[in-house]
Structure 1
Amino acid sequence: MKCQIVDRLPKTSVKAVPIHITIRELTAYVGHDKRAYPFADRMLGRFPIVNWKRDLAWTLDDKTKFLNSVFLNDDLGSVTINGYEEVGNGIMRDMSDILLDGRERVSTMLDFMSNRFSYCDLYWRDLNRFERNRFLDRELLNRSVCCFDEKALRAEYERLRRAR
Structure 2
Amino acid sequence: MSTTFQRHADEETSDSGIQMPQRILDIATHQYSIDILARRFEEYQANPSATHDQYPWAARFVMGFPVSSWQRELAWNVGQKSRFIFAVWAGADLGSYLTNDWSGSASDRTALVENSDILIDGQQRLHSLEQYFLDQLAVPDVQGMPRVWSEIGNGERKRFLSTIFPHSSVSSDDEMALRRTYDLCALGVVPRTHDQRAAR
Q: TM above 0.5, one fold? A: yes
Q: Which runs of 4+ in 1 moved over 4 A?
A: none
Three-state SS of the structure 1 residue aligned to 2:138 is coil
Partner of 2:33: 22
Partner of 1:67: 85
RMSD: 2.2
CA contact (8 A) 2:99 2:168 kept: yes
Amino acid corresponding to residue 187 of structure 2 in structure 1: R
In the alignment, is residue 98 of structure 1 matched against residue 112 of structure 2? Answer: no
Separation in structure 1 between the aligned mates of residue 112 and residue 136 of structure 2, nearest angstrom:
30
In the alignment, is residue 156 of structure 1 matched against residue 190 of structure 2? Answer: no
Partner of 2:143: none
Residue 12 of structure 1 deviates from its aligned partner by 2.4
User: CA-to-partner distance for each residue in 1:99-138, whole Å, 9 max, x for gaps?
Assistant: 0000011000010000001111111010000111111111
CA contact (8 A) 1:13 1:156 kept: yes
Using CA pairs under 8 Å that are at least 6 residues apart, name the structure with larger relative contact order, 1 or 2: 1
In the alignment, is residue 112 of structure 1 matched against residue 135 of structure 2? Answer: no
CA contact (8 A) 2:32 2:165 kept: yes
In the alignment, is residue 123 of structure 1 matched against residue 148 of structure 2? Answer: yes
Q: Which moved more, 1:112-121 or 1:79-88?
A: 79-88
Q: Percent identity?
A: 27
CA contact (8 A) 2:121 2:182 kept: yes
> Which has the larger share of strand?
1
Three-state SS of the structure 1 residue aligned to 2:76 is coil
| 1:2-41 equivalent positions in 2, closer than 5 A | 8-27=19-38, 28-29=40-41, 30=43, 33-41=51-59
TM-score (norm 1): 0.89
Amino acid corresponding to residue 62 of structure 1 in structure 2: Q
Amino acid corresponding to residue 26 of structure 1 in structure 2: L
CA contact (8 A) 2:55 2:66 kept: yes
**Which consecutive residues of structure 2, in runs of 5 or more, have no partner in the other structure?**
1-10, 45-49, 141-145, 190-200
Separation in structure 1 between the aligned mates of residue 183 and residue 104 of structure 2, nearest angstrom:
26
CA contact (8 A) 1:84 1:92 kept: no
In the alignment, is residue 58 of structure 1 matched against residue 76 of structure 2? Answer: yes
Three-state SS of the structure 1 residue aligned to 2:185 is helix
CA contact (8 A) 2:30 2:166 kept: yes
